[in-house]
Amino acid sequence: MSKRVRSREVCADCSAPEPRWASVNRGVLICDECCSIHRGLGRHSSQVRHLTHSSWPSSQLQMVQTLYGNGANSIWEHSLLDPSSSVSGKRKANPQDRVHPNKTEFIKAKYQMLAYVHRMPCREDDSVTAKDLSKQLHSSVRTGNLETCLRLLSLGAQANFFHPEKGNTPLHIAAKAGQMLQAELLAVYGADPGALDSSGKTPIDYARQAGHQELAERLVEIQYELTDRLTFYLCGRRPGHRNGQHFIIPQMADSSLDLSEFAKAAKKKLQSLSNHQFEELAMDVYDEVDRRETDAVWLATQNHSTLVTDTTVVPFLPVNPEYSSTRNQGRQKLARFSAHEFATLVIDILTDAKRRQWGNSCESPKDNVELILQGIDSRHNSESQDNDQPDYDSVASDEDPVQEASCGDSCNDRRTKSSDLSDGPITVQEFMEVKSALTASEAKIQQLLKGCSLEGQGIMLENDYDTTPNHSELEETDSPVPASDTVEPGEEGEEDATLPCTEDVICKTEQITKNIQELLRAAQETKHESFLPCSEKICMAVTEMAALFPKRPSSETVRGSLCLLTSSASRLHGECQKAAEHNPCPSDIQLVTQQVIQCAYDIAKAAKQLVTVTTKENNN
């Protein structure tokens, strides 16, 4: 793209000139400040890459630039284009706005809540709407109209939809038509290049049969994107797929590690995972690679600006509300692997991925070996974790780590010997054991909170599970949840390791869940006058549950969960008070409702974790 055209580009979120980053799945270009917020949303909301410093497939970059140039941003800001939106107080951010809270609130509403997208007319059967949208997508990908397909995907069309009459998927159609950029867009939304049509042919086969050789080669690369990205992270090379080389398995220079009993045990645990569990772990490691590489680009391009020292650091993978708390916990712990430990895990995943696809023939150490220095290389040395790095709870704040550092004893002491998870750099074996133990523990309480499935409400939930009570909110809202249970820095008192019995915690959690269900019914039936009474019941139940625990629990996880529980209840009460006092207009009531549901979701998460840790400790 010429410099002259580039000079006319502006940030999709605040209109700042010359944006240097892109959100791949949203098809927009963004400035540094807005990118700092996008990174905290997580890849499930926004996949960011630097336009010049990140490694891009050329056709993927072209896809994003085409979408941006054709007005893809109007998909995410549809209702803001209505002149009446300014009358109702809705407006997009501008370059002069503060990062927190102005730009942050706007970007979260835009991409997490999808507050401004065009809504389809409501139908009784949502699956019918999704099927209709997917059929439209199936038909549209044969053309070059990318923004139409992005709009359909934003409304719920499925990239892997199998057309019952045509007997194939949208990617088959795009491949046959030679639509490279459509294929890139579908792949970003999860389309499988290896999907079979009714005759057993893949999109790769379609592209080759239609003579689109370049597209066929790109689809092969997409098929191996996960393992290629892991390999490139370690040694800066990708396999030569054109020559039939689909894997490069690096080895550590310190070969004695491969002979240790620990290494053998860790690999055995990895190999014992089901294919589904292995895929989840590999995807989580892929996300962690993306986080580390993006961090490196971020630090290299900021020139020590205030953004680096502001609340823009992403110290671990943000919480994905679609994943279980157990999986989110395991994802966050990946950030504590040193470069050497993380490389060992990546190598083991690459080895096992090849074994699972090709059988045991890949176990020879001389097969596609790349020798890597023990420290990996200078690019990753800066990623080694030092003693000042905090330990992370299973549900931790991913928005404001600077604020978290000043929270006091109840939320701040991340390295106590009584930590429920790990003290010091985590190993591969510890990671697998923790994941296995918490999976078993969560299964015991899954039924308990089954009725509190907030995802079914069709709302995109925020992922900033803040473990710090907001004391200003406690004062402003006159919340019934007392702040005195939170120990301030310097307050006297010894830590208490005792925990209430599991039955009492479950009983109180049932009360909280029952009240949350009542609140959700009120939200579903748009009975906003019921919000405040429901929140008062929830706050009372939360107070009673918090009273079961000692004032200074020695367990790090208990302290963090109690902070999240009480602060979320306070925020909920405040939001419900605002809804009652200000009587928001219909155009804004949806955002108010989403905030209320978000707070309720945080409370349910915290209560669920308290049941988990209590069950775990009492069974030991």
Structurally, at CATH architecture level, domain 502-618 sits in Up-down Bundle (1.20)
The tokens describing 243, both together, are: 């020559």
- What CATH number was assigned to the domain covering residues 127-243? 1.25.40.20
C-beta of residue 485 within 8 angstroms of C-beta of residue 566: yes
- Show Cβ contacts of residue 319 under 8 Å, excluding neighbours closer than 6 positions: 42, 328, 332, 395, 396, 398, 463, 464, 465
Residue 547 phi, psi dihedral angles, 5° rounding: -70, -20
In CATH terms, 21-112 corresponds, of 3.40.50.1820, 1.10.220.150, 3.80.10.10, 1.10.10.10, to 1.10.220.150
- pLDDT for 207 beyond 70: yes
Name the amino acid, one letter, at 16. A
Using the 8-state DSSP alphabet, how is residue 318 labeled? Answer: P
* Least-confidence region, from 200-214, 480-494, 533-547: 480-494
* Angle at which helices 146-155 and 126-140 cross, to 10°: 170
218 band by pLDDT with thresholds 50, 70 and 90: very high
Q: Percentage of residues in the chain with pLDDT exceeding 70? A: 69
The pLDDT value recorded for residue 561 is 85
459 band by pLDDT with thresholds 50, 70 and 90: very low
- pLDDT for 159 beyond 70: yes
For 143, 171, 192, 281, 508, the CA distances from 197, given in Å and listed in that order, are 20, 10, 12, 28, 51
The pLDDT value recorded for residue 327 is 94
Pairing assessment for the beta strands 249-252 and 369-372 based on DSSP bridges: parallel
Using the 8-state DSSP alphabet, how is residue 361 labeled? Answer: G
Average pLDDT over residues 8-33: 96
Which residues of the chain are in CATH 1.20.120.330 domains?
A: 502-618
Residue 44: alpha-carbon gap to chain centroid:
5
For residues 212 and 65, give the distance between their C-alpha atoms in angstroms, rounded to a whole number: 22
468 band by pLDDT with thresholds 50, 70 and 90: very low
pLDDT in tens, 346-355: 999 999 999 9
* Residue that has been written with the tokens 């000139």 in this structure: 17
Average pLDDT over residues 498-507: 85
Neighbours of 599 (CB within 10 A): 25
3-state class (DSSP) for residue 418:
coil
481 band by pLDDT with thresholds 50, 70 and 90: low
Average pLDDT over residues 359-387: 38
For 237, 260, 261, 376, the CA distances from 255, given in Å and listed in that order, are 21, 9, 13, 14
The pLDDT value recorded for residue 253 is 55
The tokens describing 241, both together, are: 């797929």
54 band by pLDDT with thresholds 50, 70 and 90: very high
Using the 8-state DSSP alphabet, how is residue 496 labeled? Answer: B
- pLDDT for 531 beyond 80: yes
- Show Cβ contacts of residue 476 under 8 Å, excluding neighbours closer than 6 positions: 574
Give 43's strand partners.
Answer: none
* Least-confidence region, from 177-186, 244-253, 476-485: 476-485
Average pLDDT over residues 476-505: 60
Average pLDDT over residues 11-38: 96
- pLDDT for 392 beyond 50: no
* Angle at which helices 213-223 and 225-235 cross, to 10°: 70
The pLDDT value recorded for residue 306 is 60
Using the 8-state DSSP alphabet, how is residue 459 labeled? Answer: -
- pLDDT for 460 beyond 50: no
The pLDDT value recorded for residue 419 is 28
| Per-residue burial over 310-333, b = 16 or more CB atoms within 10 Å of its CB, e = otherwise | ebbbbbbbbbbbeeebbbbbbbbb
Average pLDDT over residues 202-219: 97
The tokens describing 545, both together, are: 């549950």
Sheet with strand 48-50: strands edge to edge: 28-30, 21-23, 48-50
For residues 508 and 542, give the distance between their C-alpha atoms in angstroms, rounded to a whole number: 8
Which residues of the chain are in CATH 1.10.220.150 domains?
A: 21-112
The pLDDT value recorded for residue 493 is 57
518 band by pLDDT with thresholds 50, 70 and 90: confident
* Least-confidence region, from 301-305, 340-344, 494-498, 562-566: 301-305
pLDDT in tens, 87-109: 455 788 999 999 988 999 999 99
Q: Pick the most confident of 190-199, 251-260, 474-483.
A: 190-199
Of 286, 563, 332, nearest to 438 (Cα)? 332
* Least-confidence region, from 53-67, 174-188, 274-288, 338-352: 338-352
Average pLDDT over residues 230-255: 85
- pLDDT for 395 beyond 60: no
307 band by pLDDT with thresholds 50, 70 and 90: low
The tokens describing 286, both together, are: 């892929």
Average pLDDT over residues 555-569: 86
The pLDDT value recorded for residue 413 is 35
The pLDDT value recorded for residue 420 is 32
Pairing assessment for the beta strands 249-252 and 48-50 based on DSSP bridges: unpaired
pLDDT in tens, 39-50: 999 999 999 999
554 band by pLDDT with thresholds 50, 70 and 90: confident
- pLDDT for 291 beyond 90: yes
For residues 236 and 413, give the distance between their C-alpha atoms in angstroms, rounded to a whole number: 38
